[in-house]
Amino acid sequence: MRANWNSLLLGFCAVSGALWGGGAGARDSAAIRASGHINIGVEPGLPPLGEYDDHNELVGYDVDIGREIARGMGVEPRFVTLSSSGRIPYLMAGKVDIVLGGLTLTPGRAEVIAFSRPLYSEQFAVITPEDRGITSFTDLESGAHRLIEVRGSTAVAYLQQRVPKAPMLLLESYADAIRALAQGRGDAMVDVIEYVGHYLPSQPQVHWRIIRGFAPPVGDDCIGMTRQDVALRADVNRILDAMEHDRRLEQIHRRWFDPAVAERAP
């Protein structure tokens, strides 16, 4: 049941979208401008995309992108914090107008929501304590090693396809997943190293092994909107195109990502 959570969630959202016209309470561009603000979903537990700094201020790549989208629309940004599993439900329920949080474009999600042009591309890695004896992705195929993953992440569906025998513990956040891995509740995690890597120093007693190169880029991360918001999608893409042209998109990317780590989407 847990292993199929992501598929069940997308199925529920698809049915809800059909019944409610693509998003209950979703606001279009005109309504957003009339209100003077845009509600932006971000995940505060996913640095460098979103986190709270030492002054308890929300900062990160997604926050900077969200501010630029709001500025381009002439409105105030209002950030709504959520988890990976809450991104699409919040959007469909009208709690946010747009959502970020490392939202990868997948065929299943594209049946439920609309996506902006790509922001950047992701790459999976295996993260494992060295003493677990895992040296390659193929070591996970036998089912002898337990995986710890974040509920609602793209990695879950990928692993269900690639290593169906592997038992999987699903948790709610990356911080919880890395803590559980360090405590020995599992043997490895597969996810985007640009996100997970920020949590590894929180467990300095563990000697971590990072295994890359077993998969092509996972996909493009985009901004999500409800499918009915055609005008909003056009506005968001127009703003992102302008940011690409004047290099603001590149500047924000370099501010939060090591240029050698994350791959910019064309």
**Same domain assignment for residues 129 and 144:** yes
- On the question of pLDDT at 154 being above 90, the answer is no
Does the residue 26 lie in any domain? no
Backbone angles phi, psi at 241, to 5 degrees: -65, -40
pLDDT score recorded for residue 260: 45
pLDDT digits (tens, 9 = 90+) for 159-206: 999 999 999 999 999 999 999 999 999 999 999 888 888 889 999 999
pLDDT score recorded for residue 14: 44
Does the residue 28 lie in any domain? no
Does the residue 243 lie in any domain? yes
Count of domains for the chain = 2
Does the residue 99 lie in any domain? yes
- Provide the greatest CA pair distance for the chain: 58
**Same domain assignment for residues 206 and 128:** yes
What percentage of the chain reaches a pLDDT higher than 90?
74
Among 12-16, 129-133, 212-216, 262-266, the least confident range: 12-16
- For residue 245, give the CATH number of its domain: 3.40.190.10
Does the residue 83 lie in any domain? yes
CB–CB of 184/133 below 8 Å? no
**Same domain assignment for residues 141 and 107:** no
pLDDT score recorded for residue 216: 81
pLDDT score recorded for residue 46: 87
CB–CB of 126/188 below 8 Å? yes
Does the residue 9 lie in any domain? no
Does the residue 183 lie in any domain? yes
Q: Which residue has the higher pLDDT, 258 or 74?
A: 74
pLDDT score recorded for residue 5: 36
Backbone angles phi, psi at 51, to 5 degrees: -170, 165
**Same domain assignment for residues 130 and 205:** yes
**Same domain assignment for residues 117 and 185:** no
Residue 227: both structure tokens together: 């499918």
pLDDT score recorded for residue 155: 93
**Same domain assignment for residues 112 and 82:** yes
**Same domain assignment for residues 112 and 135:** no
Mean pLDDT across the chain:
88
- Residue identified by tokens 């640095």 is 47
Transcribe 244-260 into DSSP letters: HHTTHHHHHHHHHS-TT
- On the question of pLDDT at 227 being above 90, the answer is yes
Residue 241: both structure tokens together: 């195109």
End residue of a domain, out of 194, 212, 230? 212
**Same domain assignment for residues 248 and 188:** no
CB–CB of 79/98 below 8 Å? no
Does the residue 16 lie in any domain? no
Question: Residue 196: which domain range?
Answer: 124-212
**Same domain assignment for residues 87 and 133:** no
